[in-house]
Structure 1
Amino acid sequence: MISITVNEKPIRIEKNTNVLQLLEKLQTPQNGIAVALNNNIITKDFWKYEILDENDSLLIIQATQGG
């Protein structure tokens, strides 16, 4: 197990978890969101390739509608 933060909340996950797996575990909708790993935007095409490491910081931003 490793420790990371998601939206500034500490969580523990299995080693070798990628961003896509984490989003699925957290039941986060995959459309209409932006993901930043350690302050770098990760495009949706690369979520399955980005393996999370100890002390990583993930920010998930949900798009909202407004007017």
Structure 2
Amino acid sequence: MLASGRHGTIYIGVTSDLMGRLHQHRTRATPGFTSRYDVFRLDPLWEDRALDLGFPRQS
């Protein structure tokens, strides 16, 4: 989960390459929602466990 700031716009996405995706958002590599609303601050509560909580492991 990314945010534009306190009480600002939020963006929720899924990726297996968190650091690479953050770099894309912060450098505005592609036009879209996150670049339009300056959404690039990572919410630390979601950083570590987001995929484990949201998706069961494939066997």
User: TM-score scaled by structure 1?
Assistant: 0.27
Instruction: Say which structure is richer in strand.
Output: 1
User: TM-score scaled by structure 2?
Assistant: 0.28
